[in-house]
Amino acid sequence: MFWVIVVAMAVVVGGAALVALGGGGSLPEAVHDRIAARLPQERPLSRQDVDEIRLPMAVRGYRMDEVDDVLDRLGAELAYRDTRIAELEAAVAGLDAGREGAEQPGSEPLPGLEDFAAAKGATALSAPAADGTHPVAAANGAVETAVDTPERAERA
């Protein structure tokens, strides 16, 4: 009887070794029994993506009310973000369009000085040009002089 048990154990150990080493055939490919969370990889997430996602349950499960609260908050924040980005992009586009059609600084008369210039019989006063010269003064033959600064006064 002892020898029968030893032979049976040898057969079991040999069979286990044969299976472990691959001699008994291979295991079939694993079957995915979960629904994959399909989130878009080629674009940012939107509120609709969050609304449509369905998370699989595990053996232990999850607290549905907590997950639903988190997903609701995430969806609301995504919707707010998208709306805010669209508003800011529209504002920037409006500023860019206004900048293209605007006149250059210094090309319009200074406010409130048109009446003064008309009373003196001169042309309307305007702001100095970008290079520091004044178009009206230069047209009337005025000569620009440097303003003394404290550094220049010390040198003199």
Predicted confidence (pLDDT) per residue in 87-103, tens digit: 999 999 888 887 766 55
What range does the domain containing 91 cover?
A: 34-102
Say whether both 110 and 69 belong to one domain: no
Res 98: pLDDT:
75
Say whether both 126 and 90 belong to one domain: no
In 21-146, alpha helices (H): 47-52, 64-101, 114-120, 135-139
What is the spatial distance between Cα 97 and Cα 14, in angstroms, rounded to a whole number? Answer: 83
Statement: residue 71 has pLDDT above 90: no
Say whether both 131 and 73 belong to one domain: no
Which residues are CB-neighbours of 125 under 8 A, at least 6 positions away? 109, 110, 113, 116, 117, 136
Say whether both 97 and 109 belong to one domain: no
Res 84: pLDDT:
94
Is residue 72 in a domain? yes
Say whether both 77 and 110 belong to one domain: no
Res 147: pLDDT:
47
Is residue 89 in a domain? yes
Is residue 24 in a domain? no
Say whether both 72 and 108 belong to one domain: no
Question: What's the pTM?
Answer: 0.36
Mean pLDDT of 28-42: 69
Percent of the chain with pLDDT over 70: 53
Is residue 125 in a domain? yes
Label residue 42 by pLDDT band (50, 70, 90).
confident
Say whether both 110 and 84 belong to one domain: no
Statement: residue 85 has pLDDT above 90: yes
Is residue 3 in a domain? no
Res 86: pLDDT:
93
Say whether both 95 and 38 belong to one domain: yes
The answer to whether 136 touches 125, Cβ cutoff 8 Å, is yes
Statement: residue 149 has pLDDT above 50: no
Question: Which of 114, 135, 133 has its CA nearest to residue 124?
Answer: 114
- Identify the residue with better confidence: 59 or 144: 59
